[in-house]
Structure 1
Amino acid sequence: MSVLVVGASAAGLTTAEALRRKGFRGALTVLGAEYHPPYDRPPLSKQFLSGDWDEARTRLRPDNLLAALDAEFVLGDPAVSLSDHTVHTAAGRSLTADHVVIATGLQPRRLPGPPLEGVHVLRTLDDAAALRNALAADKRGGVVVVGDGVLGAEIAATVRKLGIAVTLAGPQAALMEAQLGAVVGGLLGELHAAEGVELRLGAAVEQLEGVDGWVSGVRLVGGEVLPADVVVVALGAVPATGWLEGSGLTLENGVVCDEYCRAADGVYAAGDVARWRHEDRLVRLENRTNATEQALCVAANIMGEHQPYRPVPYFWTDQFGTKLQVHGRPSADLTIAEGTIGERFVAHYRDAGRIVGVLGWNAPKQTRTHRMHLISGEGHR
């Protein structure tokens, strides 16, 4: 039996490692679009962007552990199509395996309009390095972050910690409202404002403005122009499935899979790109924890364990020394279960009286305890 993993980030590498731990000794190939060995993405918007970490610290595994996998790593060669169990690459390779695992992740959304120098996205290590270099230059015009979700908030916090003027603009009424709800999103906005981040929330972006090919500002709906010589677009991302058009797989906001993460006979998906059946609906999660957990499930099913994937969703974010952890699915009904709001606390989110989510604000130990409400049956499962 042979396995080809398409995608050399967290989900792809975890799949390969889990297969070897489970005793798989067949041919194993990991195909990656980037030239970099597997690296971790969450630090890119924080430790790497701030300059606290170098490229080496972002790597998921050192060279000796990658070599110990006895896998062939084909890097810097993006997949361009899939036919049956054969993946064709940009360099003209044709790679065939008994089992194919799709772990190609996401592609960042960009604003429409002509390209302008000084406009950045942050998805890859190269993206983060380019933005870090831009931030090291004189920023008399300041920095504007377009996007009020997790990535936008983290980037704004990092930029401000570097002592650079930064404005964050986004259409939601509260920072990270979709992920945290209005109450906690409002608290996070207060934290950013206290640290000097200028917030333009509830303000959609109309267009970028430029002079001589360089960005000069961000025009909001309503007419206000935010001056900037660096703009970071953090408006989310879309599953990287363009290369799968014509493959026969179902592509609807990701690679559609069954509850075993199987997209077709011998074809699986893991990580941000996977949309799988969970109970009575299709679910796709964009976070680091899911990439690892889903990859473990895929490896188990390749090895014949027939294991459905039923996670408790989880993500975390660190901003201005504050750690937020979210288990489950936040809703509008929030109650404080422990601690004092705005300081150190744990909150429960409820839907029809059931606990569907748990949030911790600088309370990691307590949050793990309250997570048991979700696992024990009081929660969404």
Structure 2
Amino acid sequence: MTAQEKTYVLVGAGLAGAKAAETLRAEGFDGRVVLVGSEPELPYERPPLSKGYLLGTAGRDSAHVHAQDWYAAHGVELRTGTRVTRLDVAGHRLALDDGEELPYAKVLLATGSSARRLPVPGAELEGVRYLRTLADADRLKADLAEGGRRIVIVGAGWIGLEVAAAARSHGNAVTVVEPQPTPLHAVLGPQMGGVFARLHRRHGVDLFTDTTVREIRGAGGRVASVVTDGRAGLPTDLVVVGIGAVPNTELAATAGLAVDNGVVTDHALRASAPDVYAAGDVAASFHPLYGRHVRVEHWANALNGGPAAARSMLGHDVVYDRVPYFYTDQYDLGMEYSGLGGPGDTVVCRGNPEDGGFIAFWTADGRVTAAMNVNVWDVTAPLQELIRSRRRVPVAALTDPDTPLERLVG
């Protein structure tokens, strides 16, 4: 067997790539494993960047997937600070930015996504921040930890709201600007988005919804104010932009792979060319539960998708059909969300959202499509089982706190 026939390359040294490497070894693959990452960092996961590390309650190393010595100990060649510039699917070769040509038997694309840039005048000024990488988190943490600063956050999605909570915990004045009617409107809808609006306002955040940023103005090359369609200028010392992410599909697209809001894969995370796989943020994978391609940007998808892709690379019979899951911690609110709710779904609650702990259910045609538990714990398994079952459940049973969740599944 040639070196190429024994070489598996994992492009993208984030959580998905690192967990794929771990799984290849755990499943007994004894060939060459090369993990290539463009950042000069050990592979890391992203939740601590906007949670514990930014809050100052967790150290920088808490984000690392494995310790430094794990990679050598498991025979994984870790190439950090290295970018793959070309994928030759016909020749089964990768070109690296240092000039090396790397042959492969199979390759996993786990290239993740990048922060969407704010397309307004002044966005290039010093003091405009994004939060996607560990280096971004280092800089933003230093900014926020000073305290007493005026922070304008553009976008009331998960990143924007978690940064707002961290900024308030460090004693900064925070304004959030969001073009939708509520925070998290596209994900949670108006009713549950309103829960997060009230949460942040209770903690002293100035939240402007139905408001669009038009310009960032500066003084001496640094941000000084943010102009919106309703206000001439919001004074600020720092602007944090959190308006979503864009999948890093350039490598795949240039190689001729099918790309549509991500690298298109089948249920086994196989891309459109032989011996090419994709997982994590960049993968738009066919999901048997939903009967369509789904791209999920959250932590659990990288955590579970990387190992699933590794098993698929090894020839195992893989059906990647995990129920989408994500979580957040903001102030005294902890939340887990499972499933994919739609804009036309009906939302009903078990418990009162104004009283602290509750479970919200998104329903369509009597079936639960998604569920969100807020300050209610150890219920993810039955909620996901309920979503997967696609059973029709009476609203009275969903909202009755005396009906065990396990009973709803049958």
TM-score range, shorter chain: over 0.9
Residue equivalent to 2:137: 128
Normalised TM-score (structure 1)? 0.95
The DSSP-based 3-state class of the residue aligned with 1:36 is coil
Equivalent-residue separation in structure 1 for 2:172 and 2:86 (angstroms): 43
Residue equivalent to 1:28: 33
Aligned residue among 291, 295, 298 for 1:287:
298
Residue equivalent to 2:12: 7
Residue equivalent to 1:117: 126
Normalised TM-score (structure 2)? 0.88
Q: For residues 251-285 of structure 1, give each alpha carbon's deviation from its aligned partner in whole angstroms, at most 9, with x where no partner exists.
A: 22111112211112000000000011224322100
Residue 397 of structure 2 corresponds to residue 349 of structure 1? no
The DSSP-based 3-state class of the residue aligned with 2:28 is coil
Structure 1 gap segments, 5+ residues each = none
Residue equivalent to 2:388: 375
Equivalent-residue separation in structure 1 for 2:65 and 2:229 (angstroms): 41
Equivalent positions of 1:141-160 (< 5 A) are 142-160=150-168
Structure 2 gap segments, 5+ residues each = 1-5, 394-410
1:110 offset after TM fit, Å? 1.2
Residue equivalent to 2:397: none
Aligned residue among 268, 276, 289 for 1:267:
276
Equivalent-residue separation in structure 2 for 1:306 and 1:211 (angstroms): 59
Matched length: 378
Equivalent-residue separation in structure 2 for 1:237 and 1:300 (angstroms): 27
Aligned residue among 77, 88, 100 for 1:83:
88
1:139 offset after TM fit, Å? 4.7
The DSSP-based 3-state class of the residue aligned with 1:117 is coil
Residue equivalent to 1:94: 101
Equivalent-residue separation in structure 2 for 1:138 and 1:315 (angstroms): 29
The DSSP-based 3-state class of the residue aligned with 1:210 is strand
Equivalent-residue separation in structure 2 for 1:39 and 1:197 (angstroms): 30
The amino acid that maps onto 1:94 is E
Residue equivalent to 1:50: 55
- Return 223-232 or 3-12, whichever deviates more: 223-232
Residue 225 of structure 2 corresponds to residue 220 of structure 1? no
Given that 2:328 and 2:336 are in contact with CA atoms closer than 8 Å, whether structure 1 keeps it comes out as yes
Q: For residues 314-350 of structure 1, give each alpha carbon's deviation from its aligned partner in whole angstroms, at most 9, with x where no partner exists.
A: 110110021111111124311113x332311112110
The DSSP-based 3-state class of the residue aligned with 1:346 is strand
1:212 offset after TM fit, Å? 2.0
The DSSP-based 3-state class of the residue aligned with 2:378 is helix
The amino acid that maps onto 2:143 is A
Aligned residue among 197, 201, 208 for 1:193:
201
Residue equivalent to 1:208: 216
1:22 offset after TM fit, Å? 0.9
Q: Give the alignment's Cα RMSD to 1 decimal.
A: 1.7
- Return 314-323 or 364-373, whichever deviates more: 364-373
The amino acid that maps onto 1:346 is I
Given that 1:175 and 1:185 are in contact with CA atoms closer than 8 Å, whether structure 2 keeps it comes out as yes
Q: For residues 292-321 of structure 1, give each alpha carbon's deviation from its aligned partner in whole angstroms, at most 9, with x where no partner exists.
A: 211121111111113121121111011002
Given that 2:71 and 2:77 are in contact with CA atoms closer than 8 Å, whether structure 1 keeps it comes out as no
Residue 329 of structure 2 corresponds to residue 318 of structure 1? yes
